[in-house]
Amino acid sequence: MAEAAHAPAFLRSQDFEIAAVADASPKRLQAAQALFPGARAYADAQSLYAAEKLDFVDIATPPHLHYAQCLEALGRRLHVLCEKPLVFSAREFEALKAESLSRKRALFPVHNWKYAPPLMKMHELLRSGAVGELRHLELHVLRRKPAAVAGKGGGNWRTDRAKAGGGILVDHGWHNLYLLSWLMGSAPAGMDAVLHPPHGAADEEATCLLRFAKPPATALMHLSWRAPLRAQWGLAYGRSGSLELQDDRLVLRRGEEPPRTFQFAQKLSAGSAHPEWFAAMLPDFRAALASPAEPSPTLAEAGICAELIERAYRPQPAEALRR
Question: Where on the phi/psi map is residue 322: left (φ > 0), alpha (ψ -120 to 50), or beta?
Answer: beta
- Burial bucket for residue 180 (CB in 10 Å: 0-12, 13-18, 19+): buried
Output the pTM of the full model: 0.94
pLDDT for 18-58, tens place per residue?
Answer: 999 999 999 999 999 999 999 999 999 999 999 999 999 99
Q: Directed axis angle between helix 90-103 and helix 297-313, to 10°?
A: 160
| pLDDT attached to residue 272 | 83
CA dihedral 113, 118, 120, 122 (to 10 degrees): -120
| Domains located in the chain, CATH noted | 2-112+280-295 (3.40.50.720), 117-270 (3.30.360.10)
pLDDT for 68-110, tens place per residue?
Answer: 999 999 999 999 999 999 999 999 999 999 999 999 999 999 9
> Which residue type occupies 308?
L
Residue 136, CA atoms < 13 Å, CB-side half-sphere: 10
pLDDT for 228-269, tens place per residue?
Answer: 999 999 999 999 999 999 999 999 999 999 999 999 999 999
Handedness of CA 62, 66, 70, 72 (dihedral sign): negative
pLDDT for 280-318, tens place per residue?
Answer: 999 999 999 999 989 999 999 999 999 999 999 987 654
